Amino acid sequence: MRWNRLALAVLTVCAGAHAAAAAPRAVLELFTSPFCSSCPPADELFVKLASQPDLITLVMPVDSWDRPGRKDALAKPEFTERQSAYADVRNEDSLYTPQAMVNGAAEAMGSDPGEIKDAIAQTAGVLSVPVKAAVAGTEIVISVGAAKRAVQGGAMITMLPFMTSREIPMRRGETLHYANLVRDIVPVGRWDGKPVRQKLQLRDTAHYDGVVVLLQAGTAEKPGAILGAARVLLRAKTAAFPSAENADN
């Protein structure tokens, strides 16, 4: 599924959609890989963190560990590019997994709950702009509030379709567990600090269980702090994928 080939039509907003959950305390992104021996503890930690209603967790398998004859079926180059963009902004020379980004403004070892807790505290108050999302049929309604303070350069609105829970068998008889597995990064538009309401058409809904909407300072090439976020579920289900060591994208 390639969301960037979908037509996201901006339509008139209508009432009657079911609203998403309350505003989150933090957005946690995990960059991981099934070929990284240090990553399974981080994957399991993010399964636990995903159960906390005041956290939005997003798992993004990167393709930097792929080799000839060994390819992660769930990895996306967009996820590697996002991790690399964060590193560029932070003047970091190298990437590692498992890495967690917290509210787009602090990083932590993805398997270390203490570091993640400290990063959440360090970025407290960053999510200052109200963002809401609701789904009605095959449409999603996105509402972004006004800025409480000036945001230089504006911010980007991004939609991330995700799968709530997935198990991936490995050749060694092990099973990887992912929660809130992102399937794409979809640019929606720019935000200049004024309230925005949009209605978008959803496509290929059989391929994901929900969407997260992020309001993030900067650009995709130079991402800044996440200013607001919302999550909305279409369904809740669990399924298994073919082995990550065999399957193709």
What distance in Å separates the CA atoms of residue 32 and residue 207, rounded to the nearest whole number?
A: 21
Question: What are the pLDDT digits (tens) for 119-129?
Answer: 999 999 999 99
Give me the mean pLDDT over the 57-81 stretch. 95
241 — pLDDT class (breaks 50, 70, 90) = very low
CB of 97 closer than 8 Å to CB of 31: yes
pLDDT at 60 over 60: yes
Least confident of 182-196, 205-219, 229-243: 229-243
Give me the mean pLDDT over the 79-97 stretch. 97
Question: What per-residue confidence (pLDDT) applies to 104?
Answer: 98
Task: Count other Cβ atoms within 10 Å, centred on residue 112.
Answer: 16
Task: Count other Cβ atoms within 10 Å, centred on residue 71.
Answer: 18
What distance in Å separates the CA atoms of residue 191 and residue 219, rounded to the nearest whole number?
A: 11
pLDDT at 110 over 70: yes
Question: What per-residue confidence (pLDDT) applies to 249?
Answer: 37
Give the containing element (helix H, strand E) for 45.
Answer: helix 39-49
Which of 141-160 are b and which e, b meaning 16 or more Cβ less than 10 Å from the residue's Cβ? bbbbbebeeebeeebbbbbb
Least confident of 3-12, 39-48, 94-103, 222-231: 3-12
Give me the mean pLDDT over the 211-221 stretch. 97
Residue, of 68 and 152, whose pLDDT is higher:
68
- pTM (predicted TM-score): 0.86
CB of 215 closer than 8 Å to CB of 226: yes
Task: Count other Cβ atoms within 10 Å, centred on residue 168.
Answer: 23
Question: What per-residue confidence (pLDDT) applies to 169?
Answer: 83
Least confident of 13-22, 82-91, 94-103, 227-236: 13-22
Structure-token pair, residue 129: 């702009």
Question: What per-residue confidence (pLDDT) applies to 103?
Answer: 99
Give me the mean pLDDT over the 141-157 stretch. 90
Give me the mean pLDDT over the 36-59 stretch. 97
Question: What are the pLDDT digits (tens) for 180-207?
Answer: 999 999 999 999 999 999 999 888 777 8
DSSP-derived pairing of the beta strands 238-240 and 155-169: parallel
Mean pLDDT across the chain: 87
